Structure 1
Amino acid sequence: MTANTSKGIQYPQSTDHTRLWEHYQNLATTADGIIIGNKDVQVFTSNGTWTRPAGAILVDVQVQAGGGGSGGCAATISGQASCAPGGGGGEYARGIFLPATTGASVAVTVGTGGAGGAAGANTGVTGGVSSFGALITCNGGVGAQGGTATSTAVSLGAGNGGTGGTGGDIHINGGDGGNGQVLSATPLKFNSGGNAHLASTTRASGISSTTTGGFAGYPYGGGGSGPSNGASQSAVVGSAGAGGVVIVTTYTA
C-alpha cells in the first residue's frame, strides 16, 4: 500500500511489497506534478478574461492602474501666464495566488489613461481602475486641475498618485504630478506627470514664453505633464495619462 504527503508525493508503507524500482517511478511521477517546470505569461492592455493554464502551481499577478490627465491651460492676455499641473501616476499591486484561489478563469479590467483637461482652465480626467477579479484592485492617478490665467504668483496643486486599492501582497502608490506655478506672469516648469511603478516620470513642459504643450504619460500608468502659456496666448488642452496593464505569470508543472 502507498500513501501521499500533504503536497501529493506518493510513498510506500511498510506493508507494501512492490518492487523498489516501482516506488521510485511513483515518486518521480507524482513529484513531476508539483515541481515548477514551465511558465505561462499573459499580458492584458485592455479588458479580457484570464484562463488558468493546465498544470498551474502558482499564479503571480501584477496590476497597474491608469495615469491621470493633466489640466488644460486658460487663454492669457498681456501681462498674464498660466501653467497647468501634471496628473498623478496610477497605483500598482502584486499578489501570488494558489490555483484554488483564482479558480479556472478571472475577469481582467485594465484602466485607461485619463484624458487631459479641455482647452481652458479645465481639470484632467482621473485614470481608470485596474483589477484582477476581486483578488486585486488598483486605483488610477488623479486628474490635475486646470491652469488659470494670472498676473500674480500662484501655485496650483497637481494630481495625486493613485492609492487605496485592495488585495494582493503589496501595493505601491502612484507618484504625484508636479505643480503648475506662475511667478510674476512667467510660468515655471515644474508640472511633470506623476510616475508609476511601471512608468517613469513624464518631463515638464519645455521652456517657452509662448505656448508649450505637456507630454502624455509613459506606459504603463504614468500621469500626463501639464501645458503652459505665456502672455497673449490661446487656451491649451491638457495631456493624457497612460493606460494601465495586468500581467499574469502562471508557473506550471
Structure 2
Amino acid sequence: MTANTSKGIQYPQSTDHTRIWEHLQNLATSADAIIIGNKDVQVFTSSGTWTRPAGAILVDVQVQAGGGGSGGCAATVAGQASCAPGGGGGEYARGIYLPATTGASVAVTVGGGGAGGTAGANSGANGGNSSFGALITANGGVGAQGGTATSTAASLGAGNGGSGGTGGDWRTNGGDGGNGQVVNAVPLKFNNGGNSHLAGVTRASGVAASTTTGFTGYSYGGGGSGPSNGASQSAVAGSPGGPGVVIVTTYTA
C-alpha cells in the first residue's frame, strides 16, 4: 500500500512489495502534479472575470488603482497667473494565494483614471479603485483642486496619492502630485502628476507665460499633471489620470 505526504507526494509503506521502479514512477507522477512547470498571465485593462487555469499551484495578483486628474485653471487678466496642481498616483497592492483561497473564478474591477477638472478653477476627479474580488482592493489617486487666478503669491495643494486599500501581502501608496504655485504673477512649473508603482511621474506643463495644458497620467495609475496660465489667458481644463490595471499570474503544474 502507498500513502501521500501532506503536499501530495506518494510514497510506499512497509507492507508494499511493489517493485522499486514502480515506486519511482509513482513518486515522479505525484511530484509532477505539485511542481511548477508553466505560468498563465492575464492582464485586465478593463473590468471582467478571472477564471482559474487548470493545474494552478500559486496565484500572484497585482492590483493597480487609477491616477487622479489634475485641476483646471481659471482665466486670467493682466497681472495675474494661475497654476493648477497635479493629481495623485493610484495605490498598488500585491498578494500571492493558493488556489483554494481564490476559488474557481473572481470578479476583477479596474479603476479608470480620474477626469481632469473642466476649464476654470475646477477640481479633477479621483482615480477609480481597482480590486480582485474581496481579496485585494487598491484605492485611486486623489484629484487635484483647481487653479484660481491671482496676482499675489499662491500655493495650491496637489492631489494625494491613493492609500488605505485592503488585503494582499504588501502595498505601496501612490505618489502625491506637485503643487500649483504662482510667484509675482508667474506660474511655477512644479505641478507634475504623482507616480504610481507601475508608472513614473508625469512631467509638468511647459512655457510659463502662455496657456499650457498638462499631460495625461502615465499607465498604469499615474496622476495627470496640471495646466497653467500666464497673464490674459483663457481658462484651461485639467488632464486625466492614467488608468489602473490588474495582472494575475498563475503558476501551474
Same structural fold, with TM-score higher than 0.5 when normalized by the shorter chain = yes
Query: When the two structures are superposed, what TM-score results if normalisation uses the length of structure 1?
Result: 1.00
Query: Is the counterpart of residue 246 in structure 1 residue 246 in structure 2?
Result: yes
Partner SS, residue 211 of structure 1 = coil
Query: Is the counterpart of residue 211 in structure 1 residue 239 in structure 2?
Result: no
The equivalent of 2:19 in structure 1 is 19
Rounded Cα–Cα distance in structure 1 between residues aligned with 2:242 and 2:232: 31
Give how far 1:161 is off.
0.1
Contact (CA 8 Å) 2:191, 2:225: kept in 1 or not? yes
Rounded Cα–Cα distance in structure 1 between residues aligned with 2:31 and 2:106: 28
Partner SS, residue 61 of structure 1 = strand
Query: Is the counterpart of residue 148 in structure 1 residue 148 in structure 2?
Result: yes
For residue 221 of structure 1, what is the amino acid of its counterpart? G
The equivalent of 2:222 in structure 1 is 222
For residue 178 of structure 2, what is the amino acid of its counterpart? G
Give how far 1:184 is off.
1.0
For residue 100 of structure 1, what is the amino acid of its counterpart? A
Matches within 5 A, 1:71-220: 71-220=71-220
Give how far 1:210 is off.
1.1
Partner SS, residue 95 of structure 2 = strand
Matches within 5 A, 1:228-239: 228-239=228-239
Rounded Cα–Cα distance in structure 2 between residues aligned with 1:124 and 1:40: 37
Deviations 1:46-100 (A, max 9, x none): 0000000000000000000000000000000110000000000000000000000
Partner SS, residue 78 of structure 1 = coil
The equivalent of 1:62 in structure 2 is 62
Partner SS, residue 30 of structure 2 = helix
Bigger drift between 108-117 and 205-214 goes to 205-214
For residue 198 of structure 2, what is the amino acid of its counterpart? L
Rounded Cα–Cα distance in structure 2 between residues aligned with 1:22 and 1:187: 79
For structure 2, the 5+ residue unaligned runs are none
Deviations 1:11-47 (A, max 9, x none): 0000001111110010000000000000000000000
Rounded Cα–Cα distance in structure 2 between residues aligned with 1:184 and 1:137: 44
Rounded Cα–Cα distance in structure 2 between residues aligned with 1:197 and 1:132: 17
Rounded Cα–Cα distance in structure 2 between residues aligned with 1:204 and 1:88: 13
Rounded Cα–Cα distance in structure 2 between residues aligned with 1:170 and 1:246: 15
Rounded Cα–Cα distance in structure 2 between residues aligned with 1:3 and 1:240: 59
Rounded Cα–Cα distance in structure 2 between residues aligned with 1:129 and 1:92: 10
Rounded Cα–Cα distance in structure 2 between residues aligned with 1:173 and 1:38: 32
Identity %: 85
Partner SS, residue 125 of structure 1 = coil
Rounded Cα–Cα distance in structure 2 between residues aligned with 1:41 and 1:186: 49
Rounded Cα–Cα distance in structure 2 between residues aligned with 1:163 and 1:132: 16
Give how far 1:163 is off.
0.1
Contact (CA 8 Å) 2:188, 2:208: kept in 1 or not? no
Deviations 1:210-232 (A, max 9, x none): 10100000000000000000000
For residue 15 of structure 1, what is the amino acid of its counterpart? T
Partner SS, residue 214 of structure 2 = coil
For structure 1, the 5+ residue unaligned runs are none
Equivalenced residues, count: 253
The equivalent of 2:41 in structure 1 is 41
